[in-house]
Amino acid sequence: MADVTLTVDDKKITAPAGTLLIEACKSVGIEIPSFCYYPGLSLQGACRMCVVKIEKMPKLQTACTTVVTEGMIVATDNDEVRQARKAMVEMLLGNHPLDCPVCDAGGECELQDMAFSYGASESKFIEAKNHKEEQQWSPVVYFDRPRCILCYRCVRVCGEGMDVWALGVQNRGVSSIIAPNEKDHLECEECGMCIDICPVGALTSGAYRYKTRPWEMNHVGTICTHCGDGCKTTLGVRRCDTGMEIVRGDNRDKSGINNDFLCIKGRYAFDFAHHKERLTQPLIRKNGKLTPATWEEAFELIGKRFREIRDEVRDHDGGSAIGVIGSNRTTNEENYLLSKFARVVLKTNNVDHHRTADFPALAAALHGKPGKTASMREVLNAPAILLLGNDPTNQHPLLAWQIRTNVRLRRAKLYVINSAPIKLRRQAAGFGMVPAGAEAKAVAFLAGDDSLLDSLLDSKASDSMTRDAWIGLRDKIRAEQNMVIAFGSELRGHDIEKLVSFASTLTGAKLICLGDYANSRGASEMGLYPDLLPGYEPIASADKFQKEWGNLPAEKGLSLPEMVEAAKAGKLKALYAVGSNPVGRLGIDPFVFSKSFVVVQDMFLTETATIADVVLPAANAYEKTGTYTNTCGDLQLVKKAGEVTNTKPDFEMMVRIADAMGSDVSGLVPFGSGTHSDMGQTRGAQSGEADSHAVWLEAHNLEPKMTPFDPMAILDEIQRVVAGYHVSRVNLLAGNDQHLEIAESGASAIQNPELIVPANDDLFSSGTLGRYSKTLNSVFENKSADAEVAAD
């Protein structure tokens, strides 16, 4: 739109026609205060804080609802305006409890800031204040009614933003109150958006309330460790007896791909880190019982046994008897190192992980088609989105938020093809419901195979679409330009190939493959496969890695089910599970490994750890530094925030094991050369003086600058060797997300699609990790209790 010129506080400013005055002012650095105005939500005009004087208008106007016009002359800070704002603050404080010293929002409160700015220090209101007891609306949401200033931000973000509509306003005038949908409690997605958006301390969270003061925490922006969307979460940490405790999660800096959004997991489910069952000592099986041991003892034992098994078997039949299982939640650096460690040190290609999506198939299908994957940010701006399978509201909450926001604010067209009436159908311009498992047929139909149309019609579904409706939907989808196509694990192998070839017939279509867990994509791209090396490089053509890593085993290794078979046959002598719980998650009979030497690195005594011979207590993703690649292929920096004494990052443990096996560690981690150096990232530079480890090292003048435990050294190698990862390091360290080009692996990389097992997590579960989150469990129990009541 054309620009208009106006004068604000004697300054000429220009803004596109249609811009709100408050935004136009903000763009030139003039701040207009407001409570109810929130970018991206509908206008409310309730708080009257943003009033400004506009010439030729008789009364003060609200800048949040006024659109700029040519020649407008505005005063944002004259005596009249200041007086009006002061009066508003005074009125709001009239019934405000002023319990700031104990309020969670104290120090971060917008009302406090306003009172500070406009100095309504004197209260003319002398009557007794209306008091109401605090109410608990759900395990995570508490409401303190007298603190509420009725800005309605929570109501709007819950309804418009989340499409949950669980909050409303009841009564009117001075007796207006925010009310939950179930009379005295909330039935909702528990995302906590209402709490984060509350300008005061009216809505507080069960996880954080009355725990600490905001200024007592250090804040570290890192990436959430739950689903594959890669939201940035800012963790507030505080020193405690056992290291650094994470007290709060939010997204106040809003610099991440998630902007305003976080779901319950990113906001509250960090509490697994301080679960009482957390392992903080290495365990070694002695006389059939896992017994606490020292790190040295553990590394020595593992080193000795791994070396024996490797050498013994190699001397006999040349094959390998060691299996390695990687994690979907460890960093790229750890996954890469594990991949390398297995091949170079353990001399085996028996490497696998819990596969939740067919990323290699996408890489293979996109061979020779650069620029065909979409980033998470692109979903927010794409003119059209096609969603095939999956239920993003539950499994990819950020993706669902991006889609909803795009539809709401930019009128994007959403097309949903699913076997269930998922919630996003409410935003869809077209919803095609197919029988379970028919997603791939729908793709073939979209591509032009009319013979499959009958199999899409669901005779059992009452709202099944007619043939004509399907053809109409197809026509609409085919006509879309620059569409983002997101598909779930319903599509695998050759189906992805078909989807890609259909997408190539559309103008500008880009793809997103949806996998579960925080770093599934990273695990996949770092080569945790028996037949693929980092960058989906097939074992068969490993020249690049031969040069980089030295001699590699040439034969394709065993996949996870094959390892299980080998173990049954007594041929798998050792199993090394790093941050994964195959026994628990994939339903493997634990007795299968009774004859193998099992080493598990994990935070908890998982089903897999209970059968181990050695268990090493691992640090989680909130306690170390590295990078994650989200399901779209956006690379982001993971920063150390918390710390639990006597746990170690998986990275360090792998290096120590290699060292104990007598390997040359400098060949494994190229430290002490190249462009890297530990600038504090591994410890979390922002943890500052409260980082006990750093304080100790510094005090003894031992602060390591270049060590074999420095994941940045491996990042150097990843960026050099793995296709697609050569992005700006500066941007990465600055905390920006960068979209990666998916490595072109060639057509040989079709995996076994039957090995993909979706996690099927919902909003309140998160694989093995979810079990150790008090918050997720409390919500879960609360929900199931409700369900029972409803069944009565």
Partner 1 sequence: MKFSDEFEARFTEMLTHYPTRRSALVPTLLYAQDEVGSLSDEVIEELARRLDLTELEVRNVISYYSMLTTKPRGKYNVQVCTNIACMLRGGEELLDHCKKKLGVGHKGTTQDGLFSLEEVECIGACSWAPAVQVNYDFHENLTKEKMDQVLDEYKKKLNH
- The contact set with partner 1 (CB under 8 A) reads 165-172, 179-181
CA–CA separation, 122 and 111 (whole Å): 15
| Angle (CA) 569 573 577, round 5° | 110
Phi, psi of 514 (to 5 degrees): -95, 115
Q: How far is the CB of 152 from partner 1 (least distance, A)?
A: 11
Q: How far is the CB of 132 from partner 1 (least distance, A)?
A: 16
CA–CA separation, 135 and 141 (whole Å): 9
Q: What Å distances lie between residue 64 and 50, 52, 152, CA to CA? A: 7, 10, 14
CB-wise, 175 or 287, nearer to partner 1?
175
Check residue 163 and give left, alpha or beta (phi > 0: left; psi -120 to 50: alpha): left
CB-wise, 170 or 459, nearer to partner 1?
170
Total residues found in the chain within this entry: 792
Residues with Cβ within 8 Å of residue 271, at least 6 apart in sequence? 207, 246, 773, 774, 775
Pairing of β 510-513 and β 483-487: parallel
> Which three-class secondary structure state does DSSP give residue 98?
coil
Q: How far is the CB of 167 from partner 1 (least distance, A)?
A: 8
CB-wise, 155 or 382, nearer to partner 1?
155
| Angle (CA) 672 675 680, round 5° | 75
Q: How far is the CB of 170 from partner 1 (least distance, A)?
A: 4
Q: How far is the CB of 96 from partner 1 (least distance, A)?
A: 23
What secondary structure letter does DSSP report for 273? Answer: G
CB-wise, 172 or 700, nearer to partner 1?
172
Confirm if 485 and 512 have CB atoms less than 8 A apart: yes
What secondary structure letter does DSSP report for 381? Answer: H
Q: How far is the CB of 65 from partner 1 (least distance, A)?
A: 21
CB-wise, 155 or 712, nearer to partner 1?
155
CB-wise, 168 or 670, nearer to partner 1?
168
CB-wise, 155 or 422, nearer to partner 1?
155
CB-wise, 59 or 172, nearer to partner 1?
172
**H-run or E-run covering 713:** helix 711-721
Q: What Å distances lie between residue 149 and 111, 175, 203, CA to CA? A: 9, 12, 11
Q: How far is the CB of 169 from partner 1 (least distance, A)?
A: 6
Of 11, 6, 149, 5, residue with least CA distance to 77: 11
Q: How far is the CB of 154 from partner 1 (least distance, A)?
A: 13
What secondary structure letter does DSSP report for 766? Answer: B
Of 487, 354, 349, 436, residue with least CA distance to 755: 354
CB-wise, 158 or 503, nearer to partner 1?
158
Q: How far is the CB of 155 from partner 1 (least distance, A)?
A: 9
Q: How far is the CB of 788 from partner 1 (least distance, A)?
A: 20
Residues paired with residue 217 on neighbouring β-strands, in sequence order: none
Mark 737-754 as b/e (b = at least 16 C-beta within 10 Å): bbbbbbbbbeeebbbebe
CB-wise, 63 or 166, nearer to partner 1?
166
